[in-house]
């Protein structure tokens, strides 16, 4: 795996990205959630780069330059990512996002259209409306007195009582490398997106041009959560989901072979 991190100026901000694999191969674009970076995919990329071009694009303020940036949200994340792809001459691509990077992923799909983005992959994104517990966690992380406590609450949910060394490092070092400002911003944006759309399922249903979308997830594990997706699929045949059965909220780290297989299936599909 080529770990070189490139940085270009996009809309006045330095945006970092990794570019691995053959330049003439089908393109896969990997996008993290908030308060992560390209390292979320360091276990996945080696399963793909032999015959796919794999781009990992960091959000503004998330890459090599961590200088403070003014407020932004998923529309800016989408604009920045598309600008990187345009600068590299990338036309058709398969995007995969983790968690709440999905808001930007769907925005990218809408803007680029089905010819350029013929299908979408989403990894471990909360598909249903926010629960009171999740809403309380988002609020806590926006409080400068309680944000670390709120963040730890998310970490505990994501680990689900399991111990995975690579995931633990991702939490303790990589995600915890972001401070209050970015964590609070992320929660404001996420809460506002749920308030606007209702849920990711509702957001997908409202897309002006549909294409195949597959959700790959391990959490939550409750049967009602899968049932909600099965019910949505019954009325929206372009949607599908896969229960990966991994130990944590981070399938690209704890189940990379399974995620890679789904990506390859997506690339092979017409």
Domains and CATH numbers, the chain: 6-128+200-268 (3.40.50.1820)
Beta strands in the chain (DSSP E): 6-10, 13-20, 27-31, 53-57, 93-98, 120-123, 213-217, 239-243
Which residues contact residue 252 at a Cβ distance below 8 angstroms, ignoring those fewer than 6 apart?
30, 40, 41, 43, 44, 98, 123, 259
Catalytic residue selected from 36, 47, 62, 249: 249
Greatest CA span in the chain, whole angstroms? 51
What pTM was estimated for this model as a whole? 0.97
Cα angle 249, 96, 227; round to 5? 55
If phi > 0 it is left, if psi is from -120 to 50 it is alpha, else beta; for residue 113 that is left
- Reduced to 3 states (helix: H, G, I; strand: E, B; else coil), residue 160 is coil
Q: Does residue 249 carry a catalytic annotation?
A: yes
Q: What is the DSSP string of 4-36?
A: --EEEEETTEEEEEEEES-TTSPEEEEE--TT-
pLDDT in tens, 214-254: 999 999 999 999 999 999 999 999 999 999 999 999 999 99
Q: How far is CA 70 from CA 60, 63, 106, 192, 243, in A?
A: 10, 15, 23, 17, 37
Q: What is the pLDDT along the chain (270 residues), one digit of tens a residue?
A: 788 999 999 999 999 999 999 999 999 999 999 999 999 999 999 999 999 999 999 999 999 999 999 999 999 999 999 999 999 999 999 999 999 999 999 999 999 999 999 999 999 999 999 999 999 999 999 999 999 999 999 999 999 999 899 999 999 999 999 999 999 999 999 999 999 999 999 999 999 999 999 999 999 999 999 999 999 999 999 999 999 999 999 999 999 999 999 999 999 987
């Amino acid at each position: 795996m080529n770990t070189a991190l490139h940085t270009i100026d996009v809309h006045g901000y330095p945006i970092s990205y990794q570019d691995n694999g053959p330049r003439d191969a089908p393109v896969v674009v990997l996008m993290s959630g908030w308060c992560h970076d390209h390292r979320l995919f360091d276990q996945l990329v080696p399963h793909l780069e032999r015959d796919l071009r794999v781009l990992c694009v960091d959000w503004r303020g998330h890459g090599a330059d961590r200088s403070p940036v003014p407020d932004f949200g998923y529309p800016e994340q989408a604009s920045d990512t598309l600008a990187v792809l345009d600068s590299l001459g990338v036309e058709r691509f398969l995007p995969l996002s983790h968690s709440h990077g999905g808001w930007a992923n769907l925005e990218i799909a809408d803007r680029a259209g089905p010819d350029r983005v013929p299908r979408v992959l989403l990894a471990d994104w909360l598909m249903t409306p926010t629960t009171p517990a999740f809403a309380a966690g988002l609020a806590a992380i926006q409080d400068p007195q309680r944000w670390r406590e709120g963040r730890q609450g998310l970490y505990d949910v994501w680990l689900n009582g399991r111990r995975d060394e690579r995931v633990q490092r991702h939490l303790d070092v990589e995600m915890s490398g972001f401070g209050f400002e970015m964590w609070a911003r992320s929660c404001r944006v996420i809460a506002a997106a749920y308030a606007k759309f209702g849920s990711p399922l509702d957001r997908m249903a409202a897309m002006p041009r549909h294409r195949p979308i597959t959700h790959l997830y391990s959490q939550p594990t409750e049967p009602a959560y899968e049932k909600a997706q099965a019910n949505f699929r019954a009325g929206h045949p372009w949607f599908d989901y896969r229960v990966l059965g991994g130990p944590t909220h981070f399938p690209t780290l704890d189940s990379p072979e399974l995620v890679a297989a789904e990506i390859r299936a997506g690339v092979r599909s017409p």
